[in-house]
Structure 1
């Protein structure tokens, strides 16, 4: 019988330097900004290189046809499929933005004729709204999302004109910067550059992040701010002096306001941060009150004590001020929107499946001003009321919207990328009519990242549940059992003919969701009191980003790109496991076998997946047989 001994991948290798060990990501006290950030020159070089390479791929693609043809050229005519040859129609370049709102002949031009400008998917909304923000005289429009992402799209449009290039520049930049932030985020979790590099690489080479960064939509901008918030939260979590604690808190508030101003998906990181901060604040009391907590606690009381000492006695005052600052930043993002009189703030009250529109009325809001003597000044009270009205109308829109969509997908299918969105599709009959040339863009994720992250996340659940048998049993059963119950009851309750109508999953589904909340609470406790912060943080972030779209969204259409926040933690989980396997050795019959090649093989699988699916992410023309070969999931 063969006897083998496997050194667990989650335990640090004996000869690793102390600062690289998996000690929960908590650094020693470091003085000065440079010491606190703990960034070396090679880290800065790595971040810059990752961002530059990602930016090149997003701007220059598709580069595959010219490269393979041997022509020596690189196609950089556009960064998205405006037409089959990836360049915008000539008439689109003449659409003016800004004053005077007329074309070269003096004819007034609006942005309502969207069919002639090379839009793909939701680009018919967001770039148009960004251009309207630049117009003089102002144009009224209704948008159920906050305005910041559109404002960030506006400068390139104002500079370059209204073209497919200009309205995608901002998303390409923020999508590339996201890769660098993921590196910093991972490095803050563990002082392991393999881990950080792999996590950033996986995000850079994932199809969902890649397509979103090459399309004029708002999700990638919002997720950039979400990732930046998580990084600042880790800095705050690891603060050891009062100055560090307060500086990171107010930077968190600033970025939280920006994240909310881009899209309301910022709720997920705020829930994670609030849960962990509250749990850390009450952990000494909790450990003293509940003996079971002490049994799973690691030697981290000094870390909690240092953090609480850095917070001081007026911590609640600072958190209150931080919330107000975040709210002020959010309101400030409406500055341009509130200078435009709006007559189309829709109040939707009902929706019937199969009808052509929502039932509701349109309200009007005027520019919020007040008179003080002969002077006309902004009215901040009315401005806040108008912002509240606009956001309430947007939430009502999402609540009442119930129409079907061919590319809608259920939330429980996102981890396996079952039904992504087809952004663009053009078919032309070539020499062989039975095998036409096809160009398409789908936001399908890289299967090597999404599929392999599932067992990685399960391994992290096993890792964070280490402790007494009762603790491992509790954590290991509550989460998976509750999730399985939610999926089964939700799937059983939906109509068989479509995935887009409203679903009423029933009381058992609600009870299972309560079980998920309990599971998240157990993860939070594990993160705070044990030496399992890294896996607990990753699992908690993934779960929160996912469950954000479950309760309360049974009535609306959801799409795979709503899982973009999950991608960050899927990449972190996958990279965490691979970085651990790199230091794992198996002994079989006295032979030491390193599992480092597994890390290399998995990384090469991600790279190979990017190359293989690259054509359906960049609208590369190909025979339909080759196109069908790349549809590994239900893209239709």
Structure 2
């Protein structure tokens, strides 16, 4: 794989300050975009073909039954989902607003409530291609990452169903990409100051100006939180990553007090960009709720909540929203196993990295199902990670940890940060009812980690011809295996009619049943 600057930060053996080489991003822009758009087009075909199939006699399947009607209410009810049948809308509005865009275009049908998810899943592939390309400075590895994501069963199924998790994955990966570009931009500015001879004017290093990519990350994180509250985990993890990037940049360019410099120069603006901006965006997503006169708990102050007290200086609308969100939190807190909430397809986070307990979204069998050439047929949609990728998660994580902690490879450290944000916080509340679709946000970072490993297998550009050829052969064989594995799973990802015997052959593990 193309490596970062040497781990000691050196550029030359000559005496004096040592700085990284001036490498601030891939240079093959035209070819990079051509490859990106070709891979994205392939992703679009897989995501949109037969998008409206299957349905439950024309109605949504699985948890689409929650979000598709609520999105229709967003479209027809003044922008707010306020379904009295559920008593309480238990997720923020952005995901339903996204689904509503598709319903506005195609109506209340399978294409309508799945269109935005397919768009999000397609854009997600584009983002992963561009992010891996920037991480590795290799268009080839970016393209391979895109192919792996196309062939991932988790993001594939999530891109073809009207649920929220694909939007959460999209916004968090977009935020991650913004911070990777911000890292390159910060180093470019630091290099300019260094070469101008101004790096030592203060012990803290230079001010870095307005960082629009970091601001963009804040916008994306706000939309992530406006989709699901688990987006807040990414704020915490990405905030720490951003600080680490800033300290490393100041240290690499010879700032005398890099930690204090980052504290003085960077942390304040980072809190603004990655905490304040997401909070403002989150509140903005509730604009229709604020504007409504009969939305749930909109006027809780004075009825359910007293109008006085130490918080009386806070506007009534914000206090009412706090009360409403507290009710949502109470709802989620009550979904525990100890309270008797069990689901036959429930899973815990230690099973997610390898996809040991998938999720059955749709199933039909018996005489009413035909088209497989047998007396009776089976149709199913199962959220399952492609084993050729997901079963390698633990070796990939072990290699990534060694690279990040021992070799100090920042690329692996960044990918591990995103992976950890999607997985680790769920171990804090193990009694809570959980499902494998919570791991949708995990999938892009798994693919990025695998792409970095493929880069290591491929070898450096300076390696011998035999080494590079052998590495390329191994990489091609592996990517081919992943695609073949995806094709094998295709019937249970798309509800193709298959025989009961074939259905059993698709279920590789007892825990898949």
Q: String of CA shifts for 1:323-344, please: whole Å, max 9, x gaps.
A: 322211110101123333457x
Q: String of CA shifts for 1:282-328, please: whole Å, max 9, x gaps.
A: 679xxxxxxxxxxxxxx962177799999795534423432322211
Alignment of 1:512-591 (within 5 A): 531-552=408-429, 554-583=430-459
CA distance in 2, matches of 1:424, 1:603: 29
Residue in structure 1 matching 2:358, options 392, 404, 420: 420
Residue-pair matches, total: 457
CA distance in 2, matches of 1:591, 1:340: 65
CA distance in 1, matches of 2:156, 2:266: 40
CA distance in 2, matches of 1:44, 1:431: 41
How big is the shift at 1:456?
2.0
Q: String of CA shifts for 1:585-605, please: whole Å, max 9, x gaps.
A: 9x9xx9998233211111011
How big is the shift at 1:395?
1.7
How big is the shift at 1:635?
2.7
Change (3 A) 1:213 1:280: closer
Secondary structure of the residue aligned to 2:361 is strand
Instruction: Name the structure 2 match of 1:396.
Output: 330
Query: TM-score, structure 1 length as denominator?
Result: 0.65
Q: Whose strand fraction is larger, Structure 1's or Structure 2's?
A: 1
Alignment of 1:343-362 (within 5 A): none
How big is the shift at 1:139?
6.8
How big is the shift at 1:201?
1.6
How big is the shift at 1:268?
3.1
Instruction: Name the structure 2 match of 1:109.
Output: none
Residue in structure 2 matching 1:159, options 105, 115, 140: 105
CA distance in 2, matches of 1:431, 1:184: 41
CA distance in 1, matches of 2:427, 2:124: 25
Secondary structure of the residue aligned to 2:358 is coil
How big is the shift at 1:632?
1.3
Instruction: Name the structure 2 match of 1:408.
Output: 346
CA distance in 1, matches of 2:271, 2:241: 17
CA distance in 2, matches of 1:302, 1:535: 22
| 1:80 matched to 2:21 | no
| 1:140 matched to 2:140 | no
Contact 1:195 1:579 in 2 (8 A): yes
CA distance in 1, matches of 2:500, 2:486: 19
| 1:617 matched to 2:493 | yes
Secondary structure of the residue aligned to 1:415 is coil
Contact 2:26 2:138 in 1 (8 A): no
How big is the shift at 1:442?
0.2
Secondary structure of the residue aligned to 2:278 is helix
Instruction: Name the structure 1 match of 2:242.
Output: 277
Instruction: Name the structure 2 match of 1:338.
Output: 290
Instruction: Name the structure 2 match of 1:356.
Output: none
Structure 1 unaligned blocks of 5 or more: 1-11, 13-19, 61-75, 84-88, 90-116, 285-298, 346-363, 370-378, 468-530
How big is the shift at 1:260?
1.1
Instruction: Name the structure 2 match of 1:365.
Output: 298
Contact 1:145 1:391 in 2 (8 A): no
Change (3 A) 1:305 1:627: farther
Instruction: Name the structure 2 match of 1:456.
Output: 396
CA distance in 2, matches of 1:307, 1:38: 29
Instruction: Name the structure 2 match of 1:73.
Output: none
Contact 1:408 1:560 in 2 (8 A): yes
Change (3 A) 1:223 1:380: farther
Change (3 A) 1:313 1:29: farther
Contact 1:417 1:444 in 2 (8 A): yes
Q: String of CA shifts for 1:134-186, please: whole Å, max 9, x gaps.
A: 22487733211110111111122123221111010000000110011111211
Change (3 A) 1:217 1:466: same
Change (3 A) 1:160 1:39: same
CA distance in 1, matches of 2:315, 2:471: 62
Contact 2:125 2:149 in 1 (8 A): yes
Residue in structure 1 matching 2:5, options 3, 20, 23: 23
Contact 2:349 2:427 in 1 (8 A): yes
Structure 2 unaligned blocks of 5 or more: 10-19, 190-206, 303-312
How big is the shift at 1:243?
6.2
Q: String of CA shifts for 1:20-77, please: whole Å, max 9, x gaps.
A: 43438998658xxxx87856012212222222211111111xxxxxxxxxxxxxxx4x
Change (3 A) 1:569 1:446: same
CA distance in 1, matches of 2:265, 2:401: 35
CA distance in 2, matches of 1:81, 1:406: 22
How big is the shift at 1:366?
3.2
How big is the shift at 1:422?
0.4
Q: String of CA shifts for 1:55-103, please: whole Å, max 9, x gaps.
A: 111111xxxxxxxxxxxxxxx4x433115xxxxx5xxxxxxxxxxxxxx
Change (3 A) 1:123 1:223: same
CA distance in 2, matches of 1:147, 1:311: 36
How big is the shift at 1:550?
1.2
Considering only aligned residues, what root-mean-square deviation do their CA atoms show, in Å? 3.5
| 1:196 matched to 2:147 | no
Secondary structure of the residue aligned to 2:507 is coil
CA distance in 2, matches of 1:547, 1:365: 34
How big is the shift at 1:424?
0.2
